[in-house]
Amino acid sequence: MPDLSALDLARTQFALTAGLHFLLVATTLGVAPLLAVLQTAAALRRDPLRRAGLERARDALLRLYLINYGAGIVTGLILELQMGLNWSHVPAELYDPIATTLASETLLAFLLESTLLGLFLASEGRFPAGVRAALLWGVAATAWLSASLIVSANAYLHRPGAVLHDRDGAMFVDPVTLLANPSAIAAVLHIAAAAAAVAGAWAVALALAVARRESPTSAAAARPLARAGALLLALGSPATVVTGIAQFSLAREDLSVDTPAYAGIALALMMLAGLLLTGLSWLLAIPLLLWRGGGSGGIPAAGVAAALLPFVPLGTTFLGWLYRETARQPWMIVGEVTTAEALSVHSVPLLATTTIVFVGLDLMAVLGSWVLILRGLGRPAVVPRPGTPSADGPTGSARSADGPTGSPDAADGTAGGPVTVAFP
Amino acid sequence: MSAAVIGAALAVVAAMALLAEGWTVLRCVASAGPGGAERLSRLGAGFLATEVWVVALLGLGHAAVPGWVEAPALLAPLCGYVAGWVLRDLGLWSAPRLVRQWPARVAVVVGAVIQLVSVVGGVMGVGAIAVSGGTDARFAPDPLLAPTAVFAVLATLVLQVVWWAMLHGRGAPWFRWG
């Protein structure tokens, strides 16, 4: 066993819990706006078949989103817990920007975003489609607002000089400079591009999975998913590369930090994967845009390849965070506080225990969510009520596809409505 | 100015956490009695709407009055509350998916009782801190937090009133008991 110090263990714990959390966040940030677009398009469509197809596409994406959202809450709580446990020795005046952004993120994501999502889920068949589209746009907007705030907090750790002002002998942070930190803007743009590529890859995977579940609406559902996926992949992948390169000059003011060899390998792998994904996305774009959504989704191998496709951009996001956070060392806040100074007083055995527990829980949440997603790829998150056409078509009802955890019945006091929502 | 705004937002969030989540906790405790399954079915997904106020209180309190959140007198009640909360929600989430629901019902009741006892302990802790002259907590309002807090709290209040008026009492198919 390597001779690890308390600092090594705390840094490892932070890197792994942050990286695993972001694997889920990259999906929810990319999928939330796509869900809103599909719901809006469904609300505007007059043709019943196309509208049903768009709703079917939305429901398949919604299932994936909800699984990710739940697992994201678990890993997010663990991330905040290890922050509080391990990094409590930052001077109060330097910690204020972090506390402020974490509090704002809590209010926007946990309070407002989850309320909007809950109202969307509970209002199926009760609110007009347009109002429900507005709720989903609210979910997407609050998700991005809270993500921008968290990235601003992270950028403050990298480039505090752009944020902190000395006024009357006291450190002062104003919101404009916090959000306008060049390091934050570059990171938010990079994350936006990466999230678009991740969402695009999931949409392509879903399109092929939906097409294989033959039903009257499967082609109409697979088509918009494939087109949206192709566009997001083809635009998001090169944008990720360009905004990633821009970060080299903007992330920190002092870029002369020596990074360890493994961080260099992570960077090289990330750049290689980004370039390969860009080439692949452009190669796939034209056939996906021309595909009519029929033919059971093509050969089975294509479905398997599509299901694995999202893990390429997801892997690059993990490598990207690994490099970014390693390059900040030995600083907690560059030029102000080192990680050694910020570390709470804990023994090595205690830190080893919390690392095993926290990372174990995170891995269970991330891998469990992926298993659930891949097992139910293309299935809807909504279950038809008795007397309404099956969303999954004649080959099997959505209820049976959902197994015993699906909605037991439609007796929730709203008989006659079209669908009930079933959590994964 | 921003200190007053954040103070007001904190007061609203604290009141909602106490009243709304308190209502959920009491309902879970009462489910130990006759008609408990029906009571929990009527609660449905409502606990998700009330517990977000507790999360908001901890988040906002951590930034605005860090000394209170980290006060040693409140550490045990806070840990107890979170433990009870996890146990209660474990029961609420798992029961409708189980053939035998009684273990989940026990978890809901025991978890809610632990929450209730922890709140009483927390109130006593706050009283003890006040009697001993308060904490050395500074109120640390930041200009960014005031508009965010006002917007998030008001928007959530409006949305939850809409939920209450239009959807409350209809239950949710994935939280059905009995």
pLDDT digits (tens, 9 = 90+) for A306-316: 888 889 889 98
Q: What is the dihedral of CA A353, A359, A360, A366, to 10 degrees?
A: 170
Q: Is residue A84 one of the residues assigned to a domain?
A: yes
Residue partners of B58: CB distance under 8 A and separation at least 6: A106, B69
CB distance A385 to A410 below 8 Å: yes
Contact B170 A413 (CB under 8 A): yes
Candidates B48, B100, B148: best to mutate against A (most CBs of A within 10 A) is B148
Least confident window among A127-131, A213-217, A253-257, A353-357: A253-257
Is the pLDDT at A190 greater than 80, yes or no? yes
Task: For residue A36, give its domain range.
Answer: 28-165+172-407
Report if residue A365 sits inside a domain.
yes
Which pLDDT does position B159 carry in this prediction?
93
The verdict on B174 touching A (C-beta cutoff 8 Å) is: yes
Please determine, for residue A335, whether its predicted confidence score (pLDDT) is greater than 90: no
CA of residue A242 relative to chain centroid, distance = 20
Q: What is the pLDDT of residue A172?
A: 60
Residue A62 located in a structural domain: yes
Q: Let me know if residue A6 belongs to a domain.
A: no
Angle, CA of A261, A264 and A267, to the nearest 5°: 155
Tell me which residue of A19, A377, A27 sits closest to A197, measured CA to CA: A27
User: For position A414, what pLDDT does the model report?
Assistant: 30
Inter-chain contact B171–A97, Cβ cutoff 8 Å? no
pLDDT of A164 strictly over 70? no
Q: How many domains does chain A have?
A: 1
Residue A12 lies in a domain: no
Element (H, E) at A280: helix A261-290
In a domain, residue A22? The reply is: no
pLDDT confidence tier of residue B41, bands split at 50, 70 and 90? confident
B42 pLDDT above the threshold of 70: yes
Contact call for residues A307 and A209 (beta carbons, < 8 A): yes
Taking 80 as the threshold, does the pLDDT of residue B156 lie above it?
Answer: yes
Other C-beta atoms within 10 Å of B37: how many? 15
* The two structure tokens encoding residue B58: 């901890």
Predicted confidence band of residue A195 (pLDDT cuts 50, 70, 90): very high
At residue A215, does pLDDT exceed 70?
A: yes
Domain parsing of chain B, residue ranges:
2-167
Q: Which of A104, A404, A413 sits opposite B171 (nearest CB)?
A: A413
pLDDT digits (tens, 9 = 90+) for B6-24: 889 999 999 999 999 999 9
* Per-residue model confidence as pLDDT tens digits over B58-111: 888 888 877 776 677 888 898 899 899 989 999 998 887 788 888 999 999 999
B56, two tokens = 């908001």
Mutation pick from A66, A111, A114, A177 vs chain B, by most beta carbons of B within 10 Å, is A111
- Spatial CB neighbours of A306, under 8 Å, sequence gap ≥ 6: A204, A205, A207, A208, A209
CB contact under 8 A, B62 and A408: no
Burial A74-96 (b: 16+ CB within 10 A, else e): bbbebbbebbebbbeebeeebbb
Distance CA B167, CA A122 (A): 7
Residue A18: inside a domain: no
Chain B residues in contact with A148 by the CB 8 A cut-off are none
Per-residue confidence (pLDDT) for residue A391, from 0 to 100: 38
Work out the pLDDT band at A178, boundaries 50, 70, 90: confident
- Global confidence as pTM: 0.84
Please report the ipTM that was assigned to this predicted complex: 0.86
